[in-house]
């Protein structure tokens, strides 16, 4: 009995000591776990911070290198139009004044003077072409108009571009170059617009390049394009000419003659 009681007491003591010991170990383990977690969290944060710092250090020169170089970007915008040389402009203005007075020899001399000063001057190049056209020097005129059109993008001068295209269409038509006449006439009508009037002769309007294009399309047997060009000239053509008529082509030729006579008499 006594031994049993003593054994029970001893077991309880040992059990108590074991529980205390277990609690102690658990407490130590818990404190170590918290420490390890805190250390691990700090390590991860430190590593992330270091990576972020490295990224910023690498990116900084790139950002800095892009600053202050906006104007050097190849897509910063279209280039500014070329400005005329003052002396070239004065000579070209004198050339157009002589042209309007129908003194084509004097006008040509002034335009050549302007071109000698500034070889790409669109205003003078197309003026030279018109002088040569009026003087019936057709191949040379065509070369002058081609030279003018080659420099259109540098000047952004729609009026001079339209003048050069109209002149090129008229020259090509006179030389029976129907492909060129059709293309130049159509483009001239598009660039010139409905209100176009040639600066050197108010009798020349958008109607002339349209007539040239329509006639050239007929020569090329592109009858639908010819018909559309005639309708653009005079919408009442829709009432007078039926595309399904057996006399369709003949009627278009007669219409071109009628409009041409009207332009010459106006």
The structural domains of the chain, ordered by start, are: 82-156 (1.25.40.10), 182-266 (no CATH)
Which range is least confidently modeled, 18-32, 84-98, 130-144, 153-167? 18-32
| Pairs from 77-84 (Cβ < 8 Å, separation ≥ 24) | 81/154, 81/155, 81/156, 81/157, 82/120, 82/154, 82/155, 84/118, 84/121, 84/123
From the list 102, 187, 113, 103, the residue with the least C-alpha distance to 145 is 187
Residue 26, beta-bridge partner list: none
- Cβ count within 10 A of residue 130: 31
Looking up tokens 């790409």 gives 120
- Cβ count within 10 A of residue 266: 8
d(CA 102, CA 95): 10
d(CA 144, CA 192): 19
Cα dihedral: 140, 145, 146, 150 (round 10): 140
Residue 135 tokens, joined = 């003087």
Q: Would you place residue 105 in the very low, low, confident or very high pLDDT band (cuts 50, 70, 90)?
A: very high
The larger pLDDT score, comparing residue 198 to residue 48, is at 198
Average pLDDT over residues 234-262: 92
From the list 86, 83, 105, the residue with the least C-alpha distance to 95 is 105
* Mean pLDDT of the chain, nearest integer: 79
Which range is least confidently modeled, 15-29, 118-132, 153-167? 15-29
Q: Quick one: what percent of the chain has pLDDT higher than 90?
A: 62
- The answer, yes or no, to whether residue 77 has pLDDT greater than 80, is no
d(CA 106, CA 208): 26
Q: Would you place residue 266 in the very low, low, confident or very high pLDDT band (cuts 50, 70, 90)?
A: low
Residue 197, beta-bridge partner list: 205
Which pLDDT score is estimated for 134?
97
pTM over 0.75: no
- The answer, yes or no, to whether residue 28 has pLDDT greater than 50, is no
Q: Would you place residue 79 in the very low, low, confident or very high pLDDT band (cuts 50, 70, 90)?
A: low
Please enumerate in sequence order all residues whose Cβ is within 8 A of that of 144, keeping only pairs 6 or more positions apart, or say none. Answer: 125, 126, 128, 129, 132
| Helices assigned H by DSSP within 67-134 | 86-100, 104-117, 122-134
Q: Would you place residue 188 in the very low, low, confident or very high pLDDT band (cuts 50, 70, 90)?
A: very high
Q: Would you place residue 156 in the very low, low, confident or very high pLDDT band (cuts 50, 70, 90)?
A: confident
Q: Do the Cβ atoms of 161 and 152 come closer than 8 Å?
A: yes
């Amino acid at each position: 009995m006594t031994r049993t009681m003593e054994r029970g007491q001893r077991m309880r003591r040992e059990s108590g000591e074991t529980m205390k010991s277990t609690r102690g170990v658990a407490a130590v383990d818990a404190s170590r776990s918290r420490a390890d977690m805190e250390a691990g969290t700090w390590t991860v944060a430190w590593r992330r911070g270091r990576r972020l710092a490295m990224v910023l250090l690498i990116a900084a020169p790139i950002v800095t290198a892009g600053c202050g170089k906006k104007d050097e970007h190849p897509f910063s915008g279209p280039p500014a139009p070329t400005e005329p040389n003052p002396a070239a402009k004065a000579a070209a203005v004198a050339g157009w004044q002589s042209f309007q007075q129908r003194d084509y020899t004097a006008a040509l001399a002034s335009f050549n003077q302007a071109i000698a000063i500034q070889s790409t001057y669109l205003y003078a190049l197309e003026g030279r072409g018109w002088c040569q056209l009026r003087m019936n020097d057709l191949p040379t005129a065509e070369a002058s108009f081609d030279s003018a059109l080659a420099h259109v993008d540098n000047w952004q001068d729609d009026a001079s571009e339209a003048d050069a295209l109209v002149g090129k269409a008229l020259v090509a038509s006179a030389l029976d170059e129907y492909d060129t006449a059709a293309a130049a006439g159509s483009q001239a009508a598009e660039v010139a617009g409905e209100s176009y009037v040639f600066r050197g002769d108010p009798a020349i309007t958008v109607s002339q390049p349209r007539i040239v294009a329509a006639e050239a399309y007929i020569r090329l047997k592109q009858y639908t394009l010819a018909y559309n060009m005639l309708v653009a000239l005079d919408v009442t053509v829709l009432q007078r000419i039926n595309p399904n008529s057996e006399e369709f082509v003949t009627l278009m030729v007669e219409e071109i003659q009628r409009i041409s006579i009207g332009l010459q008499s106006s």
